[in-house]
Amino acid sequence: MMKQMRGRNLAHPGCLTGITAGLILGIILAGVLAALNVPLIVDLLTWLGLTLLLAIVGWFVGSALSSRFPALEEAPANTEQKPS
């Protein structure tokens, strides 16, 4: 799988991973805050902030990893010419 990702920009998959983690962790955190009778607006802003923060972190981590995995040079195709 890593060979397929070589040479590609990993910022987009990193951002997707960050958003997914942010949504999951944000919902759990919002549930805990709601159980503690924290106002709804604080719950929502915390959830949104956590989601955006993890998405941005994922974007930058993906961008940094893209430069560490440069594209592999393709082996040249068989260039032998058949005698006519």
Per-residue pLDDT at 39? 93
Q: Which pLDDT tens digit goes with each residue over 8-54?
A: 667 788 888 888 888 899 889 888 988 999 999 998 898 899 999 99
* Model-wide pTM > 0.85: no
Cβ(12)–Cβ(62) under 8 Å? yes
Supply the angle between the helices 11-35 and 40-68 in degrees, to the nearest 10: 160
Where do the domains of the chain lie?
A: 7-68
Q: For residue 22, what are the contacts with CB-CB under 8 A and spacing of at least 6? A: 50, 51, 52, 53, 54, 55
